[in-house]
Chain A
Amino acid sequence: MKQASNNEIDLLLRALGRRGQSSARDATRSDGDNGNISNHLDADELSSYAEGVVTGPARERYTQHLAECDRCRGIVITLSQSAGATVRHDVVKHQTGSSFWSTLAVIFSPAVLRYAVPALVVTAMIGIGLLVLRQRDGTSLVARNEGVAPAPSVESKVLPPTQPSSGFADVQPSPTAPSGISVYDSETKNRQVLADDKTSATKAPSEVGSIAKSGSDQPPAVAEDAGAAQPKYAPEPQAPPAEPGFSN
């Protein structure tokens, strides 16, 4: 009921407004100042009112004038809309200037963290799970290789039986291979890889020690590679003869 009565008044006021607009337009075309208003607000008063810096009785006085004067009201409307656009522009500029911090603030706001933290935890757990599974898959791949029936390998090599191999010292020849010929299948190769790992693991401290003695800045892995490239039976370099000046 109240809404209906408000709607009726709304319609009546709209009709009155249309009539008021046309009479104001008539006044503008005839004498210019819609009625008897002669003391218009000056530019200073208009801009101050539009910017909302006029208070107290002065504001009341200007409001009364604006309610009656179409000319001044039109200027205040224009100024108010311009001021609003300027303020919005300044706000946008300000927001652009502090975009880094505002972005950070948005990212670390409680509303975002509430969902982001559980999502990150779940993602991390899934990632760790995938890593573990992948490692397991790698182990089972090695195990599967062990189960493969021995077959002649493309990488078969003929080694002299008496000559100790630097990298394959503990490798036994395959029972199926002819005597004097060592054929490496995948099984022996895998074993060899494990043996190499063990060897390198046992060699590492001595080599580290030798690196430390030599004072090399190279990382151990590089030194290890260099050592592997060298034959094991290569004679160790002789210590340089003591210089005459340093001997007793």
Chain B
Amino acid sequence: MDGAGGLLGRASDNHSLTSEALLPRVRAAVNKYILTDDPQASADAILEFIKGLQADDLCLIVACEQGDQTAWNELVERFSATVRSAARSASSNEEGAEDLAQSIWAELYGLRVREDGKPAGKLAYYSGRGSLAGWLRAVVAQLAVDQHRKQSRLVQTEEDADFDRIIREGHDDSAWSGHGAQTDPELEISKKFAGAEMQKALSKSIAALPAEDRLLVKLYYFDGLRLREAGAVLGVHEATASRRLTRIHGEVRQQVEKTLIEEHGWTKSETQRAFSEVALQLDADIEPMLADGSVLLKKENEIAG
């Protein structure tokens, strides 16, 4: 109750809310972000958490949820540009963006009615932990992803099917087995087998990485982000991300070698030779495609020192 009162005191406009009106929302946020992971959290930790909540944004949302028309007008006025911008980023065309933005306001207000007679909108899920603008962007992004997936499931055009076929053809094990480089079938089979083992060992070593490192690998190699962007997602500087990636390279290499030796019976020299050959083959295969990316990595490493 003290925390809710403190929140009301911090808000520049508390929309005539009472502590009682705010209390359930604060309690839900504490449960979600503190007590779920640490049921024995101290009172100081909880108070510190409440101090970090966005008082103005939370009061505005709770007032909207309680049917305050002035608060609704303020919400729409302050954040319609944010919603429109997020919808534009998530949509391929202007018309789709406008539809998405409109549907967001409907989702926020709530098309269904709760037991207490009030609309059951998405507003109930804003905790005040992050900014209201960021939360609205996330709601828009989620809705856009869901709509896109629904459409993808319903309408898979012939072009999509062709695209899938091309993707599948392009992703056999050729990249790992020296596709086109060898004509000896026995040697090719052997290399393919070796490539498959290496790929398995590589996937296993990535899975064994700590969550932060694994996320960095996913952001950089799977999502194609630059080091600066990946660092921004993780909340670290580009140089830190670069150092972390270099360390990950070493750890992954060690882990792959260990897996190949211990689980697949490879010798040390075989692993080193396999690394060189596979890397050489990959280099030759993907050099035209990744020339920019390799240069970019070098530059980023130089910048990061």
Contacts and interface: CB of A to CB of B under 8 A. Distances in A.
Interface of A: 2, 5-26, 28-29, 32, 42-44, 46-48, 50-54, 56-58, 60-61, 63-64, 66-67, 70-71, 73-84, 86
B17 interface: no
Contacts of A23: 171
B58 to A, nearest CB: 11
A64 B278 CA distance: 30
A60 to B, nearest CB: 6
Given A43-B135, A75-B138, A54 B129 contact: yes
B282 A73 contact: no
A84 B182 CA distance: 48
A174 B271 CA distance: 117
A66 B127 CA distance: 20
10 contacts: A5-B253, A6-B253, A9-B252, A15-B176, A50-B138, A53-B52, A71-B145, A74-B145, A78-B90, A83-B134
A64 B225 CA distance: 18
B122 A43 contact: yes
B149 A32 contact: yes
Contacts of B66: none
A47 B137 contact: yes
A126 to B, nearest CB: 44
B125 A42 contact: yes
Contacts of B131: 47, 51
Given A9-B275, A15-B286, A79-B137, 7 more contacts: A15-B175, A44-B129, A46-B138, A51-B134, A58-B36, A66-B215, A74-B223
Contacts of A64: 211
B124 to A, nearest CB: 10
A32 B33 CA distance: 28
A77 B129 contact: no
B141 interface: yes
Interface stretch (B8-16, B196-204, B258-266): B196-204
A9 B249 contact: yes
A19 B229 contact: no
A13 B252 contact: yes
Interface string B7-50: 00000000000000000000000001110111000000000000
Interface of B: 32-34, 36-38, 52, 86, 89-90, 122, 125-127, 129-131, 133-135, 137-139, 141-142, 145, 149, 152-153, 156, 160, 164, 167, 170-171, 175-176, 198-199, 202-203, 206, 211-212, 214-215, 217-225, 229, 232-233, 235, 246, 249-250, 252-253, 256, 275-276, 278-279, 282-283, 286, 290, 293, 297
A18, A61, A73, A84, most chain B CB atoms within 10 A: A18
A56 B37 contact: yes
Contact of A28 (B134, B152, B256): B152
Contact of A24 (B141, B222, B233): B222
Contacts, number: 187
Given A2-B250, A47-B138, A21 B222 contact: yes
B249 A58 contact: no
Contact of B221 (A13, A70, A73): A13
A14 B52 CA distance: 40
A44, A51, A83, most chain B CB atoms within 10 A: A44
A53 B149 contact: no
A8 B167 contact: no
A86 B52 CA distance: 20
A61 B37 CA distance: 9
B164 A29 contact: yes
Contact of A12 (B34, B38, B279): B279
A6 B156 contact: no
Contact of B37 (A42, A58, A73, A75): A58
B223 A12 contact: no
A101 to B, nearest CB: 26
A79 B134 contact: yes
Given A6-B250, A57-B37, A86-B133, A29 B156 contact: yes
Contact of A11 (B164, B211, B229, B279): B279
Contacts of B203: 16
Contacts of A14: 221, 282, 286, 290, 293
Contacts of B212: 63
A162 B53 CA distance: 106
Nearest to A75: B141
A157 B233 CA distance: 96
A163 B245 CA distance: 107
A28 B279 contact: no
B252 to A, nearest CB: 6
